[in-house]
Each structure stands twice: as C-alpha cells, then as structure tokens.
Amino acid sequence: MNVTITVNGTPITADVADRTLLVQFLREAGGLTATNVGCDTTSCGACTVLLDGESVKSCTVLAAQVDGSAVTTLEGLASPDGQMHPVQRAFHAEHALQCGFCTPGMVMAAVSLLAENPDPTQDEVRAGLEGNLCRGTGYHHIVRAVLAAARAGREPA
Amino acid sequence: MIPAPFTYRRAGTVAEALEMAAESGEDAKYLAGGHSLLPLMKLRLAVPEVLIDIGRLREAAYVRDEGGHIAIGALTRHHDLATSGLLASRVPLLAYAAGCVGDPQVRHRGTIGGSLAHGDPAADLPAVILALDATLVAQGPGGTREIAAADFFQGLYETALAPGELLTEIRVKRPESAGWSFQKFTKRAIDWAIVGVAAQGDRVALVNMGMTPMRAVAVEQALAAGLAPEQAASHAADGTSPPEDINATAAYRQHLARVLVGRALAQARARG
Ligand SMILES: Cc1cc2nc3c(=O)[nH]c(=O)nc-3n(C[C@H](O)[C@H](O)[C@H](O)COP(=O)(O)OP(=O)(O)OC[C@H]3O[C@@H](n4cnc5c(N)ncnc54)[C@H](O)[C@@H]3O)c2cc1C
Ligand code: FES
C-alpha cells in the first residue's frame, strides 16, 4: 500500500507491502539507518523512535498503522546548523555509551521521558528507561547523562 | 522478522470496523495497539489474513465520568490510563496498574481493550478488571451487550467475545471500599508478573495463577466468613493450577500468591 510518513519534518512516501514494519520503512524507504534492530522482539528498545512525540518501538509498529503521522528518528534531533540536541550533548559529555548500538534508542527514549517529565529523579529516569537495554555501560553513565540533560534544559540558555 | 503476508484495512469508525469484520470473516483480526498481536505475528504464531486496524478510533479512546460509573473507551492506551487524573482520584487501582504494564514504549501503544480481549492470564489489567467487578461493553453485528468481568475470561487466550465482536467500553462503578493494592512480582521491572495480585476492598484477583485471570475465591470467602486478612491470605493458592516455566515452579507461584495476597490485603486495609 501507499504510505506517507513525515520523518524528521520531511514527508516520505513509498509503496510498501502491508506487512512492512516502521523500522524497515525508516531504514529501507527512508535510508535512515540510525534506528537499529537489536532483538526484533519488542524487548531491547534499540529501535525506539518518536511517534507524534512519544517513544515507541518501531520493530512492533506497522508502517501502515502510522500512515499520515510524524516520526522523529535520531537523525532528526540535531538542529539544522548541526548543533546537537541537549540529550545528545549530555550523552557525549557523560560518556553514556560503550559500543553505541543501544544509543540511538536510548537517546530517543530519554527525549520522550524528558518531554513527559522535565525534572525527573534518578529513580524516575531508571523507570523511564526500563524499555531500553544496554549490555555495556551498566546504565550509570546513561542515567547521569539524562539527569544532566534535564538540568541543562532547566537552566536559562 | 516480519509477519506472514496479510491485507491491511483501517477502520474510521466502530460501525466501519464491524462491517469490515463481517466482510472479512474468520481469518480477520482487529489490530489495536498491536503489542500482543504483532509480536505473535512476527513469530508466525498468529497468521491472520486480514488485519482491521482499529487503532485510530478516537471515538473509543476516553476516560469519562458518567455519574454512576467511570466509562473507559476500549482504545484507551495504558499511558493514558496511567496519567488520567480522573482515574487517579476515582479508580486509582487501574491507573496504578496500567503504569506497571511493560515499559513506556509499550504503554504508548498498548490499549486496555487489547489487553482484555487478548485473554492472557499473565497480563495485569484483566485481574484489575476482575477486582473492580467491572462491566465490559461489546458491539457486534447483532447490537450491543454487556458482559460482567467475572464472565469474560473463559480459557487460555479465550474470552466471551464472539468472532467479529468489538470490545468498546469498560465501566467501573465507584468501589464500595476505597482500599486498594496492586502487587506485581517480577525479576526485572520490564517483565511480566511471575505472580500478581489486584485487590479492591475485599475483592481479590490473581495474575498468572492458572489458565485464566481469576478471582481468589477462597480468600474472598474467608474474609466474608470473618477471618483475619493474614488467615484469609493463606487460602490464596486454593484451587489454582499455576504454570511452570523458566521463572518459577507451580509450588513457588503458589507460595508467592499467599505472600502477595497477604501484602495486598494489608495495604488495601491501610488505605481503606
Ligand atoms: C515487551 C512487552 C512487554 C509487555 N509487558 C506487559 C506486562 O507487563 N503486563 C501486561 O499486562 N501486558 C504486557 N504487555 C502486553 C501489552 O499490555 C499489550 O499492549 C496488550 O496485551 C494488548 O493490547 P493491544 O492494544 O496492543 O492489542 P493488540 O495486540 O492490537 O490485540 C490483541 C488481541 O486483542 C484483539 N483486540 C484488540 N482490541 C480489541 C477490541 N477492542 N475488541 C475486540 N478484540 C480486540 C486483537 O484482535 C488481538 O487478538 C507487554 C507487551 C510487550 C510487547
Ligand atoms: S529491536 Fe525493537 S525492541 Fe529490540
């Protein structure tokens, strides 16, 4: 079927099989490969993107289901002049990654979390990221980065 | 992993969904949030020929105060239940339990209707609906009918819904007793309950203790007979036949049920 999804502000239209998953649409029709497939069973969160501003696991959403909606991937976070998003900057500054495979999903989940709760406690950050697995960092630096991004978001620029 | 081929159709209204189901027959399935159905389809454990997407029926996504009861649209997502101010004040058990389902991404997609219609004994909201003694509203070609929560769950993944029938609303009366508790025992936060307990006053229901979500009948009877909560809780596993799996033996689940019902009754009384 013909599906149009506005990805990072740009409409992408493609004629895809009805069973096409959103993550395939993004990677194959959109050529946007930051969104990773880790487990493919809705467990790891590596494929997390924002659907109308909220985190979802794109391996468990059909492209057809979100026809006409707006999706944001990691590629869409930085500003047009290349300035990184505050959450990206915080991940960089706090060294919140080792191999980096979970990072795109982790960053998108963090952006969604901070949109819902701009001033989370450490426990709220951990609960907010429970859908995202990381096998390297042990999570401490990730949690620190999200708290730092929240702090940065509260300080006047 | 991708699902086997199917034809995707999207319903714009409840009436259209029912029509599409009538046209498509036995091999069609409704798709709500897709967070039970799509994982099964990717594993090829479900191979429907037609998917009827009801995920955009905004007319069926709401939490409303109807005076005598709270009405919840079947397409209301877990996230919207968990953050509903109306539920937090009137049916806190449901709001709290919805916030314990899966993880934030799952709660942004999954719906209460899908969770109930799926009929999984390991799911959280079916037990909550039993403890609240809710009424479910279903619409089919023949019209609308009400089903008591106690009559809804009939077997493993089996409910009282007829083929093509759509669950549209869940109605919850103001609980007679305000005290509530939801106990979910997991190894990691994201996991499904190894055993769970929902309690509203002296009404108690169990997660993952048999083929269906169930009321803890022996506990309720013991309470009604005047037994103290600690004694009543010792009956939590009576008549249950819990599954054995990688997480727990049946005997361990029965032990957990007694411990968790004890905690649930104590917490519900403290809140009552
Ligand atoms: C990683 C992960 C973790 C999870 N953890 C938990 C957990 O801890 N606890 C828990 O309770 N659940 C958990 N779930 C399941 C989640 O709650 C699902 O969202 C829910 O079970 C199904 O809701 P849905 O809207 O996604 O339904 P769908 O998957 O769209 O549908 C499920 C079934 O119900 C039918 N159906 C859906 N809506 C209707 C309707 N209105 N009328 C008639 N039939 C209908 C469909 O045809 C299908 O057969 C988890 C899921 C995932 C992927
Ligand atoms: S790839 Fe989607 S959750 Fe792991």
Contact residues, B window 90-119, toward A, CB-based 8 Å cutoff = 102-106, 108-109
Neighbours of A78 (CB within 10 A): 14
- CA-wise closest residue to B212 among B159, B146, B137: B159
Size of chain A in residues: 157
Q: Is the dihedral of CA A71, A48, A128, B56 positive or negative?
A: positive
- In our burial notation (b when 16+ CB lie closer than 10 A, e otherwise), range A87-126 reads bbbbbeebebbeeebbbbbbbbbbbbbbebeeebeeebbe
Which tokens sit at B45? 């454990």
Domains identified in chain B and CATH numbers: 7-53 (3.30.43.10), 58-172 (3.30.465.10), 180-271 (3.30.390.50)
- Do the interacting molecules here have an ipTM over 0.90? yes
pLDDT in tens, B43-80: 999 999 999 999 999 999 999 999 999 999 999 999 99
Task: Bin A13: left if φ > 0, else alpha if -120 < ψ < 50, else beta.
Answer: beta
Residue A44 CB less than 6 A away from ligand 2: yes
Domain annotation for chain A: domains and CATH numbers: 2-74 (3.10.20.30), 86-154 (1.10.150.120)
In three-state secondary structure terms, B219 is helix
Place of tokens 């397409």: B75
A146's tokens:
């999200």
Q: Is the pLDDT of residue A153 over 90?
A: no
Cβ within 8 Å, pair B5-A62? no
> pLDDT at position A124, please?
97
- The answer to whether B73 and B62 are in contact (CB under 8 A) is yes
Q: Residue B5 is nearest to which of A19, A55, A131, comparing CB atoms?
A: A19
The answer to whether residue B141 scores a pLDDT higher than 60 is yes
Question: Which of B45, B104, B176 has the alpha carbon at shortest distance from A54?
Answer: B104
Q: Is pLDDT above 70 for A29? A: yes
| Tens digits of residue pLDDT in A30-57 | 999 999 999 999 999 999 999 999 999 9
Write out residues with Cβ below 6 Å of ligand 1: A 42-43; B 29-37, 39, 74, 101-102, 106, 109-111, 113-115, 117-118, 123-125, 161, 166-167, 192
Of B6, B79, B188, the CB nearest to A19: B6
pLDDT 10s digits, B166-206: 999 999 998 888 899 999 999 877 789 999 999 999 999 99
Q: Does A64 touch chain B (CB under 8 A)?
A: yes
The answer to whether the beta carbons of residues A36 and A24 sit under 8 Å apart is no
Q: What is the pLDDT of residues B230-259, one digit of tens each?
A: 999 999 999 999 999 999 999 999 999 999
What are the tokens at B187?
């190894």
Chain B residues with beta carbon closer than 8 angstroms to that of A128: 104
Of all residues in chain A, the percent with pLDDT exceeding 90 is 95
